Structure 1
Amino acid sequence: MVLHGDFHIHTNFCPHGSKDDMESYVVTAINKGMKSISFTEHAPLPKAFQDPTPEKDSAMKWEDIDAYFDEANRLKRLYENKLQINVGFEVDYIVGFEGETMEFLNKYGPIIEDAILSVHMLQAPNGEYACVDFSADEFERIIKLFGSVEQVYACYYDTVKQAVQSDLGTCKPMRIGHLTLIEKFSKLYPSKKDFREKIMELLGLIKKKNLQLDINTAGLYKEYCGLTYPNPGIMQQAKEMSIPMVIGSDSHTSKHIGRGFELLPDHMEFVAPDNIRN
């Protein structure tokens, strides 16, 4: 198993993350022997979109973008002989806000080196938006909003499908984030329905679109999950389909860089992101 680095990292610009500064992430990565990392902070949500989380803390603030780039560029210069530092975003795909998302990508896509396209927000049958990545209590509320766990899962995978197929312009992220994030609370709220068919359909579309797959170890440490996003079985399917897989810790604190990488199957092959421009 070849590990090129950690390509899904958050920073102190994330409202729901730690206060560890970006340099502490860089130092930790160097101390762990990594050759490259990607800062993929949660891109600001579309200005017309109301953050549905109780804490309103899903993404970085619009006014922090310049400071984020300034600090990343300072660290690039300071550590250029020790670590390749890529700066970019984890961009939310939100149904109904594709236009605003494309505008953001058209503006910032040309100046970033990496990006992930992820689904955290779902639109319920009543039109309300909800974040499936917040808390167990909030997930329970979402189940009631949709009518069943199975309906939540179905909506999630349908939304990921829309993300994969979406036309977000020439700067659309090449990597799909945490494919099975919806399983974050699966031990507490298990689905009675098997969604492998939908997942296989998604893998086929990801392959067709020449996209990469985020292999996200954060789920290993979630109380009600205990699995990577996606799990090893799905990784094996992706490998057999020759879908490039990019490893990421989804760390929100510097000590978690590279967390769980040693637990991944030895026979898996991971690559560096396609987004990176040298």
Structure 2
Amino acid sequence: MHFYGKFLHDLRKETLLLIDSHSHSRFSFDSEADCEENILAAMARGLDGLAFTDHIDRVDGPLDYCFDFDDYTRTLIPLKARYKDRISVLIGAEMGLNLEKNHWIEAAMKDDRFDYFIGSLHTVDNQDVASTLYTYKGDLKPYYRNYYDAMVHAATGTTGYHVLGHMDYLDRYVRDKAAIPPFAFYKEQVAAVLEHLIQKDLVLEYNTAGKYKGLNYGNPKEEILALYRDLGGKRICLSSDAHKSEHIGRDFHSAKDYLIRLGFTHATYFEKKCPVEVPLAD
């Protein structure tokens, strides 16, 4: 950890801060949220920080999407300065992991205008996971096997991301939740990814959006969180995955208590690509 990171860590590691580490704005293809309204909503909910993490998904075909980095930073940097005495505004992106585009992805994540990158798996074989599952018929086990195999390869084969996003994201889009395969079916692949995160000192995201997308749990589910903990994983962040201003920071206080009950003591966020740990407990 270089000096700036050590300074931040020493300054804030014993200060309770509530940071929303995953949100979207008009720079994402699936959001129309105004950036300043997101910041105002975060302050109204008592958050200490808000990270903008708009979508980037580089794939072959019509799903390929990337916002303009210059436009993004020209918009967010003045807002960061305007509200600096009231809330910490972080500039990030949610990068879709795809080994076929890894050269571009890893180069993009070296951009020092960004505080950090979330690595997520939204596509498999250049096909959108959400829309595929929404119309999927038959036994889901082959698709789940393919998804988690792809996650192992993408998560372990990509460098430059800091947080692994909504690990069991695909559960949200299964229409018949009873058809979701049991955790034991893909536990081995999940463990391989979690072990990689721990080895590389990366962060696992706890994303509250699952509860608002047809599940009775956030992402990842408790079995994954417990396995991460049991393997020695400690670094976790709190995220809303908000695509509308009114969803910023949703369910954070109960989520924080939930993570404490599971044995996690700190949340981790990033500034200038340096990790900052803050206690979860008051």
* TM-score (structure 1 length as normaliser): 0.81
Q: Which amino acid aligns with 2:44?
A: N
User: Quick check: 1:33 aligned with 2:35?
Assistant: no
Instruction: Note the C-alpha offset of 1:140.
Output: 4.6
Q: Structure 1 residue 178: deviation in Å?
A: 0.6
Q: Distance in 2 between matches of 1:210 and 1:24?
A: 33
Is the counterpart of residue 51 in structure 1 residue 62 in structure 2? yes
Separation (CA, whole Å) in 2 of partners of 1:167 and 1:192: 27
| Contact 1:4–1:272 under 8 Å retained in 2 | no
Q: 1:81 aligns with which of 63, 78, 85?
A: 85
Structure 1: which amino acid aligns with 2:189? K
Equivalence for 2:193: 202
* 2:247 pairs with 1:256: yes
Give the 5 Å matches for 1:38-187: 38-43=51-56, 45-46=57-58, 49-52=60-63, 59-61=65-67, 64-106=68-110, 108=111, 110-123=112-125, 129-134=126-131, 138-141=132-135, 143=136, 148-168=139-159, 172-186=160-174
RMSD: 2.3
Distance in 2 of aligned mates of 1:184 and 1:139: 9
Structure 2 CA distance for partners of 1:275 and 1:74, relative to 1, 3 Å: closer
Tell me, yes or no, if the aligned pair for 1:177 and 1:213 is still in contact at 8 Å: yes
Amino acid at match of 2:226: Q
Cα distance in 1 for partners of 2:120, 2:181 equals: 25
Match of 1:5 among 16, 19, 42: 19
CA 1:21–1:202 in 2, change beyond 3 Å: closer, same or farther? Answer: same
* Structure 2 SS opposite 1:133: helix
Relative to the length of structure 2, the TM-score reads 0.80
Shift of 1:277: 4.5
In structure 2, the residue corresponding to 1:207 is in which secondary structure?
helix
Residue 274 of structure 1: how far off its partner (Å): 4.2
What do residues 56-107 of structure 1 show as CA deviations (whole Å, max 9, x unaligned)?
A: xx7443xx3322111110111100101111101100111311112123223x
Structure 1 stretch 191-200 or stretch 8-17: which is displaced more? 191-200
The residue identity in structure 2 corresponding to 1:101 is I
Secondary structure at 1:273 match in 2 = strand
2:227 pairs with 1:232: no
Q: Which runs of 4+ in 1 moved over 6 A?
A: none
Report the number of matched residues: 250
Structure 2, unaligned runs of 5 or more? 1-15, 275-282
Aligned position for 1:55: none
Unpaired runs of 5+ residues, structure 1, are 53-57, 124-128
Q: Take 2:107 and 2:273, find their aligned partners in 1: how far apart are those partners?
A: 21
State the shift of 1:151 in Å: 1.4
Q: 1:49–1:103: structure 2 CA closer, same or farther, 3 Å change rule?
A: farther
